[in-house]
Structure 1
Amino acid sequence: MSKSGITVNDLLKFSFISDPQVSPDGNWVVFVKRTIHKQKDYQSSLYVMNIQTRELIPFTQGDNRDTSPRWSPDGKTILFTSNRSGTNQIWKISFHGGEAQQVTFFKNGASQPVWSPDGRSILCTTSLKENQSIEETESDAKASKEQEKEPEPYITTRLKYKANGQGLLEEKFSQLVFIDLETGEKTQLTEGSYHHNNAAFSPDGKRVAFSANRSEDPDFTMISDIYELDLNSKILTKLTNSEGMYTAPNYSHDGKKLSILGHNMEYKGATLTRVWTLDLHSKELICLTGDWDTEVNDVAINDLATGAGSPGAVWTANDDGLYVLASERGNTHLYHIGLDQRITTVAGGKRQIYAFGLDQHRRQAVIGVSDPQIPCDLYHVSLDSRKETRLTEANQHWLLDKQVSLPDEINFTARDGLSLQGWLMKPVDFEEGKKYPLIVEIHGGPHMMYSNSFMHEFQVFAEKGYGVLFMNPRGSHGYGQEFVDAVRGDYGGKDYEDIMDAVDYVVEKFNWVDHERLGVTGGSYGGFMTNWIVGHTHRFKAAATQRSISNWFSFYGVSDIGYFFTEWELKTDKLDEPDKLWKHSPIRYVNEVETPLLIIHGEEDHRCPIEQGEQMYVALKHQHKPVKFVRFPESDHELSRSGKPKLRIDRLNEMAEWFEEYL
């Protein structure tokens, strides 16, 4: 009896593993395991594992969301963030057991816990309105919620007044708070109408580095500077020149330098992230990866939301180099970057390494891994021998009974001679000699990357009898600066041709692909491209556009990023060159659409607002074209990755039914 493939409802079975943190002595790792609770919502708990014996211990329990675990310097206590009190606050728990104790009680919650080197105090971040005191507590928030309030108008004078996942923004800003764990005394370190993040203690505990945009009007200046605050004198020093995006500062062990990630925005949002060191005495900023044509971040896409933020560039034990994640040709690897600018692969392979943690002596690492067969698991890596040992098998207990479709890498040449990479998956229960329909998947961003990682959605289509083609057209990360920049100002140009060239290649080379039964889908930029494709070719028999852009004119004003993203990506805006915006708008070509189009959109999407889908739907419906509109309540731009589980299942079922009807 053959095994069945992975189904839509199997989403409810996945465990999601993230944020591994190695204990200072290197013997234990704490991590976050997220599951879907009672098929309705997400729940996450902390687990600890002995790295040598692989003894696994559930560390926190309940229906809460416990995240961001951080070891104390002596390894005796773990800080973490939890919503168990009603809002996200910082908690601590003894590694030797006992009840968790709440550390913060801030009215607007707390996040990003950081231990001081002596373990006596911590840093965290809380959101505050101007003139709001950190002394206001959760109880104040609960009391104000219980009071019946009449509806009030929302009033703003800011350019950036809404954000995807947050809705209309209150005038609150992320501030750093210092907490003495022995006395409970709390000191607000930053203030003003600015967001302060990525805080790090100096080794002597006397200084704090962080990133912020403290320019005169942050809504108009897309920058991020690195600052250092002296905790005794309260003197704040700006360390970078307000000309780029710099984040994730980490102090060297001698306290003389910072490592940072960032760039000078030479190519706007398509600029490769580089690794830098900043000498705190001379203020000299040195780029260590200027000759490495690679994005120093994990930008691989999967739909299991495994990431937990980048630790940045982490110093070696003797400060002669840094450990970083970087994305290249469909893989994310862990690298060592020497101060001599030599680059060495620490952990490679055809996979996405989405997280890493190191012990204090830098002898070992624990990495989070996703590959075409493994949704997400942890591996131990000896940094001396580079030997790897698998630590977890989070989903093996049920995947053993499933047939997983493994992608085959394809490499082909675009019509203008550019080398391109993609992957082709066969249907589950594939039989030689038979013809199968093919679904083309297009990623968002566009400055992201399909990779050798696990995609539940692709497995669902393979189980239903489809081949799946996915590739990285120009504009994607993983192939250098020129490649990722090539889409800017040319949306729907050579990027469109790249996707069509991929389809031509597989139709010609793989005789099992039925060229009469082709489907296409994508979200965000992939939704834009799906809209563009159906207006420029009739070769697809069905299409599903998700959280898409259809009209750059309205996108400019309704998206939370439209006012700068439009200029970044099209190299113009509606005031300077309106004809260009119209030229690149898929809705301009709606009269040419013959392909049956399913439109999927979240009601609360502020990145690509639902009016983009509405325009496409009405224009097609008015012409009596085959179109269906599915609107998802309580859903933003992240519906397919972290939306409500039931709605994620509904979304996949809607697409599967649409392709079944027309393919």
Structure 2
Amino acid sequence: MSDDKRPWSAADLYELKLITDLRISPDGQQIAYTLQRVDKKSEKKYSNIWLVDTAGGQPRQFTYGDQSDSSPRWSPDGQMITFTSNRANERQQQLYAIPLHGGEARPITQELKGQIATFEWSPDGTTILMQFRKTDAAVLEREEDEQKKKLGVVSHHITDLGYKFDGGGYMPTEKWHLWTVDVESGETTQITDGEFHEAGPSWSPDGERILFLSDRSGNPTAGIFSDDTEMYTVPAAGGDVTHIPAHDGRKNMAVFSPDGESIAYLGTPLKEGKWWQNNELYVIPAAGGEAKNLSAEYDVDITSTTLGDFGSPPPFSGLQWANNGQSIYTNISRYGGDHIVNFTLEGEMSY
């Protein structure tokens, strides 16, 4: 072993800094990302937002402090970055915004009590769409009552097969739903409700509709092991939910084309047995109909990625239409490596 090499030690783990959730600015000139670190003294994980030019250069720290700032999202005009942070309450994330050229973080929301899974700006820059789950009422009641805080373990009424996660504890009884937030006033509006989870929300290009995924079959495995996930739309202001009929297999990760006339989505050819089937890439008319499998000729698993041991999500895993709407970018795992690929609407794949 050469002099500049040595075995790993436990102390080296404090020096690891993880980069996650990279987002390119609308003009393509900058990247916003989250940098996570571990504080040696408290052994807590903290994260802040950083910026770097796409052409390279020295990264610049955008937010500061010992808190968890994460999930940077550019406003459509590129003049503002929103993110989640627990700076006001260590146990609760809220939405914040900072002008690109600096300034104090402005809280967009201040009263959220629950979990934010995903969020994105509306095309006109006035509204933020969230996948949000409220904190269970029993938990809130317990937190606000000093006597109840002293009681033992809260009882749980189990109704779903997916009721607990290793390292995460019991699942909440509240469901994931879609909410919107007015960027200026911070007013929140619940768009969907009911006894089902909704996930993967995205805007239509005109901002009039929201596309999302949900299992509304009543299956007790819904939300964790579901084979019955379907695509739906709902008006951005709320209203009736519309099912988008497609092929009979499982669906996930759906996005509108730039003109709003088509939807690209992932799915398995068969409804059952998703664990042994490849994810395939499909395109369908936005109103529903016959789905075209763009990846049928290739033995690849769309969005499959290589995982590590640091608890960091993969750098890219999703679907992105080309600006001209004639092809779709995604990622695959093949021959031991991860690759970004492009599929044309004729079903031709290229690296």
TM-score (norm 1): 0.48
Aligned partner of 1:74 in structure 2 is: 77
CA shift, 1:232, in A, is 4.6
Name the CA distance, whole Å, in 2 between partners of 1:321 and 1:192: 36
* Change over 3 Å in CA distance of 1:80–1:172 after alignment to 2: same
CA shift, 1:151, in A, is 2.7
Counterpart among 21, 24, 27 of residue 25 in structure 1: 27
Aligned partner of 2:184 in structure 1 is: 182
* Change over 3 Å in CA distance of 1:3–1:103 after alignment to 2: same
Q: Percent identity?
A: 27
Name the CA distance, whole Å, in 2 between partners of 1:48 and 1:260: 31
* Change over 3 Å in CA distance of 1:211–1:166 after alignment to 2: same
Aligned partner of 1:60 in structure 2 is: 63
* Change over 3 Å in CA distance of 1:38–1:338 after alignment to 2: same
Counterpart among 30, 44, 49 of residue 46 in structure 1: 49
SS in 2 for 1:269: coil
Contact 1:194 1:218 (8 Å CA) reproduced: no
CA shift, 1:311, in A, is 5.0
Aligned partner of 1:208 in structure 2 is: 210
Contact 2:143 2:149 (8 Å CA) reproduced: no
5+ residue gaps, structure 2: none
How do 1:430-469 and structure 2 match up within 5 A?
none
* Change over 3 Å in CA distance of 1:162–1:261 after alignment to 2: same
SS in 2 for 1:333: strand
Name the CA distance, whole Å, in 2 between partners of 1:165 and 1:309: 23
How do 1:38-187 and structure 2 match up within 5 A?
38=40, 40-52=43-55, 54-86=57-89, 87-104=92-109, 105-128=111-134, 143-144=144-145, 148-151=149-152, 154-160=155-161, 161-187=163-189
Name the CA distance, whole Å, in 1 between partners of 2:208 and 2:220: 28
CA shift, 1:52, in A, is 2.9
Higher helix fraction (1 or 2): 1
CA shift, 1:303, in A, is 1.7
Name the CA distance, whole Å, in 2 between partners of 1:60 and 1:338: 39
Amino acid at match of 1:75: G
Contact 1:276 1:288 (8 Å CA) reproduced: yes
* Change over 3 Å in CA distance of 1:29–1:311 after alignment to 2: same
Aligned partner of 2:336 in structure 1 is: 330
Name the CA distance, whole Å, in 1 between partners of 2:328 and 2:220: 31
Name the CA distance, whole Å, in 1 between partners of 2:45 and 2:154: 33
Check if 1:342 corresponds to 2:348.
yes
* Change over 3 Å in CA distance of 1:122–1:44 after alignment to 2: same
Considering only aligned residues, what root-mean-square deviation do their CA atoms show, in Å?
2.5
Contact 1:76 1:95 (8 Å CA) reproduced: yes
Name the CA distance, whole Å, in 2 between partners of 1:169 and 1:38: 31
* Change over 3 Å in CA distance of 1:157–1:41 after alignment to 2: closer
Name the CA distance, whole Å, in 2 between partners of 1:308 and 1:68: 14
Contact 2:108 2:184 (8 Å CA) reproduced: no
Counterpart among 229, 232, 252 of residue 234 in structure 2: 229
Between structure 1 and structure 2, the one with the greater Rg is: 1
Aligned partner of 1:406 in structure 2 is: none
Counterpart among 286, 293, 307 of residue 287 in structure 1: 293
CA shift, 1:18, in A, is 1.7
Higher relative contact order (CA 8 A, sep 6+): 1
* Change over 3 Å in CA distance of 1:190–1:288 after alignment to 2: same
How do 1:7-18 and structure 2 match up within 5 A?
7-9=8-10, 10-18=12-20
SS in 1 for 2:302: coil
SS in 2 for 1:122: strand
CA shift, 1:182, in A, is 2.7
Amino acid at match of 2:178: L
5+ residue gaps, structure 1: 133-137, 346-663
* Change over 3 Å in CA distance of 1:64–1:141 after alignment to 2: farther
Aligned partner of 1:624 in structure 2 is: none
* Change over 3 Å in CA distance of 1:170–1:268 after alignment to 2: same
Name the CA distance, whole Å, in 1 between partners of 2:156 and 2:230: 29
Aligned length: 339
Higher strand fraction (1 or 2): 2
